[in-house]
Amino acid sequence: MQRFAKIIIFAFILTLVSCAKTDEEQVRSAIDEANYYLSSMDCTSAKNVLDDVGFQSDNARYISTYASVYGCKAGFKELVFFTENISKVNSASLMTSLAQFDTSNETVNDSADVQNIHDAIFTLLGNDGTAQPDTNARNAKFGTKRSGDLSMQALYLIFVAMGKHFALYGNADLDPASATFGQKGKGVLSNSCIFSYTTQDAVDWINSIKPGSCTTATGNEGSDLLEAPETDAEIKTRLCRGIVYYNNMMDILSNITLPGSGELGDVGNVQTALALLMNTAESAEIAPPGTYNDGDPNGKDAISTLKTVTGQAQCEAETIERIEKWYAIFFETIYQ
Amino acid sequence: MIRLIILPFILLSLSALAVEERSLGKSPNGLLMGDAYTALADDDFTLFYNPALLARHKGFSLYPLNPSITATNIIKDPDRFSNTGTTTTSFADAAFNFPMHIGIDYSPGFKMGKFGMSAMVNYNTNFNLQNQVTPVLDIDHRFDRGFIAGYAHPLYGSFTTGKGGEHLALGLSVKYIEREAIYNSYNLTGISLLDALSQGSADAILNSLGKVNGSGWGADAGIDYVKSNGSQTFSLGLAILDIYTVMHTKDNPDNLEVQDQPMRINLGSAWKATMGAGFDLTVSADIKHLEQQMELMRRVHLGVEVGISPALSIMAGVNAIDNYSYGLKLNTGLIKIYAGFYGTEIGEKLGQQESDRFVIYFSLFHFGFDPLG
Q: Which residue of B has its CA nearest to A79?
A: B89
For residue A216, give the amino acid letter.
T
Cα–Cα distance for residue pair B105/A327, rounded to 1 Å: 64
Nearest residue of A to residue B290 by CA position? A15
Contact A95, A335 (CB under 8 A): yes
Q: Which residues from chain A sit within 8 angstroms of residue B159, using beta carbons?
A: none
A198-230 residue pLDDT tens: 999 999 999 999 999 999 999 999 999 999 999
A152:B136 CB<8 A:
no
Angstrom CA distances, A108 to A114, A164, A165, A226, B142, stand at: 10, 10, 11, 11, 52
Lowest mean pLDDT among B72-81, B121-130, B149-158, B258-267: B72-81
Please provide residue B212's backbone torsions phi and psi, each rounded to the nearest 5 degrees: -130, 155
Per-residue confidence (pLDDT) for residue B87, from 0 to 100:
60
Partner-chain residue, chosen from B194, B238, B292, that has the shortest CB–CB distance to A11: B238
Tell me, what DSSP letter sits at residue B220?
A: E
Residues of B within 8 A of A258 (CB-CB) are: 191
Nearest CA in chain B to A9: B5
Say if residue A229 is preceded by a cis peptide, omega within 30 of 0: yes
Q: A259 and B194 in contact by Cβ < 8 A? A: yes
CB count in 10 Å sphere of residue B248: 12
Residue B9: the pLDDT is 38
Q: Report whether pLDDT(B10) > 60.
A: no
pLDDT at B348 over 90: no
Buried b or exposed e, range B109-125, using 16+ CB within 10 angstroms: bbbeebebbbbbebbbb
Q: Are residues A36 and B192, on separate chains, in Cβ contact within 8 Å?
A: no
Using an 8 Å Cβ cutoff, are B131 and A39 in contact?
A: yes
> What distance in Å separates the CA atoms of residue B83 and residue A336, rounded to the nearest whole number?
42
Residue of A nearest to B254 (CA): A143
pLDDT, residue A94, reads 96
Residue B258 carries which DSSP code? P
HSE value, Cβ hemisphere, 13 Å, CA-based, for A227: 14
Contact criterion met (CB < 8 Å) for B238 and A10: yes
Task: Express the helix, strand and coil content of chain B in percent, nearest 5 each.
Answer: 15, 50, 35
A220–chain B nearest CA distance, Å: 40
Chain A residues lying within 8 Å of B134, measured CB to CB? 38, 64-65, 67-68, 71, 78, 153
What pLDDT score was predicted for residue A224? 96
- CB < 8 Å to B15, chain A: 20-21
Q: Nearest residue of B to residue A117 by CA position?
A: B133
Does position B82 have pLDDT exceeding 80, yes or no? no
Check if the beta carbon of residue B289 is closer than 8 Å to that of residue B299: yes
Give the mean model confidence (pLDDT) for residues B25-44. 96
Write out A117-165 in H/E/C secondary structure. HHHHHHHHHCCCCCCCCCHHHHHHHHCHHHHHHHHHHHHHHHHHHHHHH
The residues with which B324 forms a beta bridge, in sequence order, are B318
What's the 3-state SS for chain A?
CHHHHHHHHHHHHHHHCCECCCHHHHHHHHHHHHHHHHHCCCHHHHHHHHHHCCCCCCCHHHHHHHHHHHHHHCCCCHHHHHHHCHHHCCHHHHHHHHHCCCCCCCCCCCCHHHHHHHHHHHHHHCCCCCCCCCHHHHHHHHCHHHHHHHHHHHHHHHHHHHHHHHHHHCCCCCCCCCCCCCCCCCCCCCCCCCCCCCCHHHHHHHHHHCCCCCCCCCCCCCCHHHCCCCCHHHHHHHHHHHHHHHHHHHHHHHHCCCCCCHHHCCHHHHHHHHHHHHHHHHHHHHCCCCCCCCCCHHHCCHHHHHCCCCCHHHHHCCCHHHHHHHHHHHHHHHCC
B18, B156, B236: residue with CB nearest A29: B18
Q: Quick one: pLDDT at residue A83?
A: 85
How far apart are the C-alpha atoms of A207 and A218, rounded to whole Å? 9
Q: What percent of chain B has pLDDT over 90?
A: 66
Task: Inform me whether the pLDDT recorded for B83 exceeds 80.
Answer: no
> What is the C-alpha separation between B229 and B211, in angstroms, rounded?
52
Closest chain A residue to B264 measured between Cα atoms?
A18
pLDDT of residue A13: 63
Candidate from A36, A61, A67 with C-beta closest to B97: A36
Nearest residue of A to residue B132, measured between CA atoms? A39
Q: Which of B198, B290, B348 sits opposite A259 (nearest CB)?
A: B198
pLDDT at B314 over 70: yes
Residue-level pLDDT at A9: 67
Average pLDDT, chain B: 89
- Mutate: best of B80, B131, B198, B236, partner A, most A CBs <10 A: B131
Question: What percent of chain B has pLDDT above 70?
Answer: 92
Gap between the Cα atoms of B270 and A96, Å rounded: 71
| AA identity, residue B362 | F
pLDDT of residue B7: 34
- If you average pLDDT over residues B276-298, what whole number do you get? 90
Which residues of B are less than 8 Å from A34 in CB distance?
131
Contact A32 B138 (CB under 8 A): yes
Q: Which of A35, A65, A83 sits opposite B87 (nearest CB)?
A: A83
Distance of residue A7 Cα from the nearest chain B Cα, in angstroms: 7
**So what's the ipTM on this one?**
0.91
CB A284 within 8 A of CB A205: yes
Q: What does the alpha-carbon distance between residue B133 and residue A69 come to, in Å, rounded to a whole number?
A: 8
Residue B232 forms beta bridges with which residues?
A: B273
Residue B15: which pLDDT band, with cuts at 50, 70 and 90? very low
Closest-approach residue (CA) in chain A for B186: A149
- The continuous run of DSSP H or E covering B29 comes out as helix B28-32
Q: How far is CA B232 from CA A106, B69, B164, in A?
A: 74, 33, 9
Between B15 and B225, the higher pLDDT residue: B225
CB pairs under 8 A between A and B: 165
Q: Are the beta carbons of B192 and A39 separated by less than 8 Å?
A: no
Q: Which residue of A has its CA nearest to B156?
A: A3
Query: Considering only CB atoms, which chain B residues are within 8 Å of A260?
Result: 198
Please tell me which of the candidates A39, A156, A261 has its beta carbon nearest to residue B130. Answer: A39
Which among A19, A31, A77 is the nearest to B292, CB-wise?
A19
Which pLDDT does position B17 carry in this prediction? 38
> Using only C-alpha atoms, what is the Rg of chain B?
21
Whether the CB-CB separation of A226 and A169 falls below 8 Å is answered with: yes
| Statement: residue B5 has pLDDT above 60 | no
Strand bridging mode B335-345 / B232-241:
unpaired
Per-residue confidence (pLDDT) for residue B2, from 0 to 100: 40
Helix (H, G, I), strand (E, B) or coil at B52: helix
Q: Give how far B261 is from chain A: nearest CA, Å.
A: 15
Among A12, A77, A149, beta carbon nearest to B133:
A77
A87 and B88 Cβ atoms separated by less than 8 Å: no
Per-position b or e across A14-43, b if 16+ CB within 10 A of its CB: bbeebeebeeeebbbbbbbbbbbbbbebeb
CB spacing of A39 vs B290 below 8 angstroms = no
pLDDT tens digits, one per residue of B177-217: 999 999 999 998 888 888 888 787 888 888 888 999 999 99
CA distance B321 to chain A (A): 19
- Interatomic CA distance for residues B169 and B151, integer angstroms: 10
Question: Rounded CA gap, B146 and B108, in Å?
Answer: 11
Query: How many Å apart are CA A97 and CA A18, to the nearest integer?
Result: 57
pTM of the model: 0.88
Strands B232-241 and B212-228: antiparallel
Cβ-count burial of A303 within 10 angstroms (0-12 exposed, 13-18 middle, 19+ buried)? buried
Chain A residue with minimum CA distance to B239:
A11
Do B192 and A67 make contact, defined as CB atoms within 8 angstroms? no
Instruction: Report the pLDDT value the prediction gives residue A15, as an integer from 0 to 100.
Output: 58
A14 vs B248, which has greater pLDDT? B248
Minimal CA–CA distance to A332: which of A174, A216, A178, A219?
A216
| Strand, coil or helix: B288 | coil
Helix axes A144-169 and A135-142, enclosed angle (nearest 10)? 150
- Pick from A8, A19, A38, A39 the residue to mutate for testing the B interface (most B CBs within 10 Å): A39
- pLDDT band with cut points at 50, 70 and 90 for residue B6: very low
Residues of chain A with pLDDT under 70: 1-20, 260-261, 287-289
| Cross-chain residue pair A41–B8, CB shorter than 8 Å | no
Is residue A24 within 8 Å of residue A39, measured between CB atoms?
no
Residue B131 — pLDDT band, cuts 50, 70, 90? very high
What is the largest distance, in Å, between two alpha-carbon atoms of chain A?
103
Q: Are B266 and B299 in contact (CB under 8 A)?
A: no
| Position B94 confidence tier, pLDDT thresholds 50, 70, 90 | confident
> For residue B154, which residues of chain A lie inside 8 Å, CB to CB?
none
Q: What is the DSSP letter of B212?
A: E
